[in-house]
Chain A
C-alpha cells in the first residue's frame, strides 16, 4: 500500500544552520507517529516543509503517493506551532473559512468545536481567546472536514493539566478509529502515551526510528555470553521467565518477563553449572536515545 507520507533525503538549511539534515521517514496508514526531539531539533521545520509553508528544501516528500501540491493538503488536518486565525472573527467563522478552503460542508464545525470543548464560546471572537483556547481551536480546525491524516505540532502546548489529559484522550480516541496521526513533541511521556511509532530527532537528523512498543518495551532485555553458546541457549530454553531468545553475534539477547532481573537469570544459570563471560542489561532504547539527545 502507498504510505500516507514518504519523506526522502529531506534537508533545509538556514544559512549555515542545517535545520533538517537528510531526513528519511515513512508513515503508513494507521500509524500514530511521534516526532520526538528537543527544542530546535527540526520538528516544526520538517512539518512546515511537508505542508508547503517552508520552501526551498532539498529532497522529496509524497503525500498519499502524490506529487506535492495543495490538493493533498485538503486531505490533511494540521496545526503548526502557534495557531493563527482572524482575530476579528468568531471561532465558527474562522472554521467556516477552513471548511471552504478544504471544500468541506459546514455541518461538522459544531462537532469539531464540541470535541475540543469550545462550543459554548463558538461565537466569541478569536481575539478574546486564551492561549489554551486558541490551541484548542487549532485542533478543531484540523478536525474540520474529516481529514485522513492529522498533524499536531506540540498540541498540548499552553494547555492546563485537564486540557492536556483531554487532548491526549482525544488523540487516543481518534487513533483508535484508525486515523493516521503525526505528532511533534519534546515530551517523551506524551509520545509514549499516544504514539505507535516514534522518530527521535536531534539537529535535524533522525537518531532512532521505529515502533514505540518495541523501543519502550516494558520488559527488559538482557545480553548474555559464555564459552559455549549452544549450551547456554539450551539451558535458557528451560527458564520460565523468558519471552524471546535471539542471537546477536557472540551474544544471546533475551527478552524477559516483568520483574525478572539479570541476577535471577544468573542464579538460574549457576544452578545449571553455566558460567557467564558477559551479562548486562540493555536499557529501554527510546529512553536511552532520548536522554542521550537531551544531555548533548
Chain B
C-alpha cells in the first residue's frame, strides 16, 4: 500500500496543474460554504418579509444540524464535487494518453496495483474534501451557533462519513469513465452528459428502480438539509426532511463502488497497453 502511495505521490508531487486544481477546488468549496451566511444576510436585508430568513439563518448553522446542512450543500449533484471528478479524470486519462501506464506495467506493476494506486489517490482527495467540510463546519458552527455543547457539536458528524462515502463513490465513478474512455476531453464530456442522461434513464425505468440509479443512489445518502424549524408542519409548509442516514442507501453506494472497481479491473485485465 505504502509503495503504491509513494508511486502515485511521485507522479503528482511536482505536477503543477494538479495542485492548482486542488487549491482551486478547496477555494471554491470554502467560498460556497462561507458565502451562504453572507448571502442569507444580503437577501434578508433586501427582502420585505425578512423575518423568516433571519430565523432560518439563525438555525441552519446550529450544531448539530450544521453537519447535515453543509454536507448536503457540498455534495449536491452537478455541483462542486464535479471539480474533483474532473481532477480524477485528468490524472487517469493522462496515464493513457502519455501511455505511462505501459511504462508502469513493464517496470513491474500489476494491473491490480495500478488501479489500487489510483483508488488511494481518490481516497485522499475524498479525505481532503471531507476535512475541508469539517473545518468549514467547525468555523461556521462556532461563530454562528448558540449551542456549542460537546454532544451537540459531535452528534450529527456521521453526516461527514456519509459525505465521504458519497464523494468516494462519485470519484470511483469518474475513475471508471476515465479508464473506459481514455481521452481526457471526451471523458469529461461524458461525465457532464451523464448528469442529463441519468434523468432520462430515470424517466424510462420503473419508478421503484429510480433510487438505484448511480447518481440518485449517491445523492440519496444525504438527500435534504434539516433544522429544528423545518420539522414544524403547516398546511402550506408540509415537506419531509431527512432525519437519519439509511443503511440501505449506504449499502447501495458500497455496492456501486464495488461495481465500478470491478468494471475497471475487468476492462484492464485483458487489455493490450
List A residues at the B interface (Cβ < 8 Å): 48, 51-56, 69-71, 73-74, 76, 78, 80, 82-90, 93, 96-98, 100-103, 141
A88, chain B: closest CB distance, angstroms: 6
* A84–B99 touching, CB < 8 Å: yes
Q: Which residue of B lies closest to A75 (CB)?
A: B108
A129, chain B: closest CB distance, angstroms: 13
Annotate B259-273 by CB proximity to A: 1 below 8 A, 0 otherwise. 000000000011111
Q: In the assembled complex, which residues on chain B have CB atoms less than 8 Å from the CB atom of A97?
A: 7, 10-11, 104
A-B contact pairs, 11 of them (CB 8 A): A48-B272, A51-B106, A53-B106, A55-B269, A83-B103, A86-B11, A90-B14, A97-B7, A97-B11, A102-B108, A103-B3
A76 to B100, CA, bound (A): 17
List B residues at the A interface (Cβ < 8 Å): 3, 6-7, 10-11, 13-17, 94, 98-100, 102-110, 113, 269-273
A55 to B105, CA, bound (A): 12
Q: Which residue of A lies closest to B9 (CB)?
A: A100
- Knowing A53-B273, A80-B102, A84-B100 are in contact, say whether A70-B108 is a contact too (CB < 8 A): yes
* A102–B107 touching, CB < 8 Å: yes
* B99–A55 touching, CB < 8 Å: no
* A88–B16 touching, CB < 8 Å: yes
Q: Which residue of A lies closest to B6 (CB)?
A: A100
B108 in complex: contacting residue of A55, A71, A89, CB < 8 Å: A71
B106, chain A: closest CB distance, angstroms: 5
* B100–A53 touching, CB < 8 Å: no
B264, chain A: closest CB distance, angstroms: 15
A72, chain B: closest CB distance, angstroms: 8
Q: Which residue of B lies closest to A12 (CB)?
A: B272
Q: In the assembled complex, which residues on chain B have CB atoms less than 8 Å from the CB atom of A51?
A: 105-106
A201, chain B: closest CB distance, angstroms: 20
Q: In the assembled complex, which residues on chain B have CB atoms less than 8 Å from the CB atom of A71?
A: 108
A87 to B14, CA, bound (A): 11
Most chain A CB atoms below 10 A, which of B13, B106, B110, B271: B106
A97 to B174, CA, bound (A): 24
A85 to B109, CA, bound (A): 15
Q: In the assembled complex, which residues on chain B have CB atoms less than 8 Å from the CB atom of A98?
A: 103, 107
* B100–A85 touching, CB < 8 Å: yes
A54 to B103, CA, bound (A): 13
A93 to B7, CA, bound (A): 11
A83 to B17, CA, bound (A): 23
Q: In the assembled complex, which residues on chain B have CB atoms less than 8 Å from the CB atom of A86?
A: 11, 15, 94, 98, 100
Mostly helix, strand, loop or mixed at chain A's interface? loop
B251, chain A: closest CB distance, angstroms: 33
* A93–B108 touching, CB < 8 Å: no
Q: In the assembled complex, which residues on chain B have CB atoms less than 8 Å from the CB atom of A80?
A: 102, 106
* B270–A52 touching, CB < 8 Å: no
Q: In the assembled complex, which residues on chain B have CB atoms less than 8 Å from the CB atom of A70?
A: 105, 108-110, 113
- Knowing A70-B110, A71-B108 are in contact, say whether A87-B7 is a contact too (CB < 8 A): no
Extra contacts, 20 of them, besides A73-B107, A82-B99 (Cβ < 8 A), are A48-B272, A53-B105, A53-B106, A53-B273, A54-B272, A73-B106, A78-B106, A84-B99, A84-B102, A85-B98, A85-B103, A86-B94, A86-B98, A87-B98, A89-B14, A93-B14, A97-B7, A98-B103, A101-B7, A101-B107
Q: In the assembled complex, which residues on chain B have CB atoms less than 8 Å from the CB atom of A87?
A: 98
* B7–A100 touching, CB < 8 Å: yes
- Knowing A88-B16, A93-B14, A96-B10 are in contact, say whether A101-B108 is a contact too (CB < 8 A): yes
B13 in complex: contacting residue of A54, A78, A93, CB < 8 Å: A93
B124, chain A: closest CB distance, angstroms: 17
B266, chain A: closest CB distance, angstroms: 12
- Knowing A54-B272, A86-B98, A100-B6 are in contact, say whether A73-B14 is a contact too (CB < 8 A): no
* A73–B108 touching, CB < 8 Å: yes
- Knowing A87-B98, A88-B16, A97-B11 are in contact, say whether A52-B6 is a contact too (CB < 8 A): no
A2 to B15, CA, bound (A): 43
A192, chain B: closest CB distance, angstroms: 27
Q: Which residue of A lies closest to B270 (CB)?
A: A55
Q: Which 9 A-B pairs have the closest CB atoms?
A: A74-B108, A70-B110, A73-B108, A84-B99, A101-B107, A51-B106, A100-B7, A97-B10, A84-B103
Most chain B CB atoms below 10 A, which of A70, A83, A85: A70
* B102–A53 touching, CB < 8 Å: yes
